[in-house]
Amino acid sequence: MKLHKENPIGIFDSGIGGTSIWKEINRLLPLEKTIYLSDSKNAPYGQRPTDQIIELAIKNTEFLLNKNCKLIVVACNTATTNAIKYLRETYQVPFIGIEPPIKPASLKTKTKTIGILATKGTLNSQLFATTANNLDATIEIIEQVGDGLVELIESNMLNSSEMHLLLKKHLKPFIKNNIDQLVLGCTHYPYLIPQIKNIIGDQITIIDSGEAVAKQTKNILEGKNLLSNKTEIDFINEFYTNTTSEVLEKVLKEVKNISINKFAF
């Protein structure tokens, strides 16, 4: 496959969560056309076995390759930690993954205790275990599976009472263990930051991957001489979903130059 500068950037996630990554990429690289695939039908990936996660990642990748994407961002922590090694070995296009930023958190902590809120699939992955084992041995990591959070977000219940009660339950171990850095290990979770802050207060720093992934995307495109030469936005950024578009439209309501489309596989 020949990669061209004006080809789009492809991004996929198990739903709308990866739009938090898309927004950072679009902010840093507004002249790059993007194609976003929201596999909401199969969300959340975090409860699925590894072979299913890889199978879904392959389908998503091939959808984006058929759209001539020059680079693919796996905007899903679970898909990254379970499938990106296979994707990189199988396809020639560059891949950028999303890993929970526990290393930056470990370097910033004063209490020597950091928390990570993530899916079961991410926390149980070999890639996460390897990263965690390479941290300073004096750092304690409090892990919490965010059961139910993705489902509520995908069901348009972001600001519901059910979400508030579930968040209080999931965040309690972090407060109890005196963490000062909270890592969000799922791209859906940045949409919960205002509610999380209301529960945990201002003494705990919240860290997500969005800005770092956008910078890495730019670095890879520059390194491979694939940055667009465009000087104006003369394109539409395409979004695809395999369920109702209501939630996707809601999180993108202030974004211009986009189209939202349906797909099925």
The model's pTM is 0.93
| Interval 15-66: pLDDT, tens | 999 999 999 999 999 999 999 999 999 999 988 999 999 999 999 999 999 9
Q: Per the residue annotation, which of 186, 206, 214, 248 is the catalytic one?
A: 186
For residues 108 and 54, state if they share a domain: no
Please indicate whether residue 69 is annotated as part of the active site.
no
For residues 220 and 150, state if they share a domain: no
Q: How far apart are alpha carbons 183 and 90 in whole angstroms?
A: 30
pLDDT reading at 265 higher than 80: no
For residues 157 and 172, state if they share a domain: yes
| Interval 131-159: pLDDT, tens | 999 999 999 999 999 999 999 999 999 99
For residues 178 and 241, state if they share a domain: no
In a domain, 4, yes or no: no
How many CA atoms lie within 13 Å of 5's alpha carbon, on the beta-carbon side? 10
Last residue of a domain, one of 207, 223, 244: 207
Residue keyed to tokens 């999931």: 170
In a domain, 118, yes or no: yes
Question: How does DSSP classify residue 75?
Answer: -
For residues 58 and 143, state if they share a domain: no
Q: How far apart are alpha carbons 181 and 141 in whole angstroms?
A: 10
Please indicate whether residue 76 is annotated as part of the active site.
yes
If one counts the domains in the chain, the total is: 2
For residues 215 and 84, state if they share a domain: yes
For residues 232 and 199, state if they share a domain: no
For residues 216 and 91, state if they share a domain: yes
Q: Per the residue annotation, which of 16, 54, 64, 76 is the catalytic one?
A: 76
Question: Whole domain around residue 228: which residue ranges?
Answer: 9-98+210-262
| Interval 68-118: pLDDT, tens | 999 999 999 999 999 999 999 999 999 999 989 999 999 999 999 999 999
Residue among 59, 55, 46 nearest 83 (CA): 55
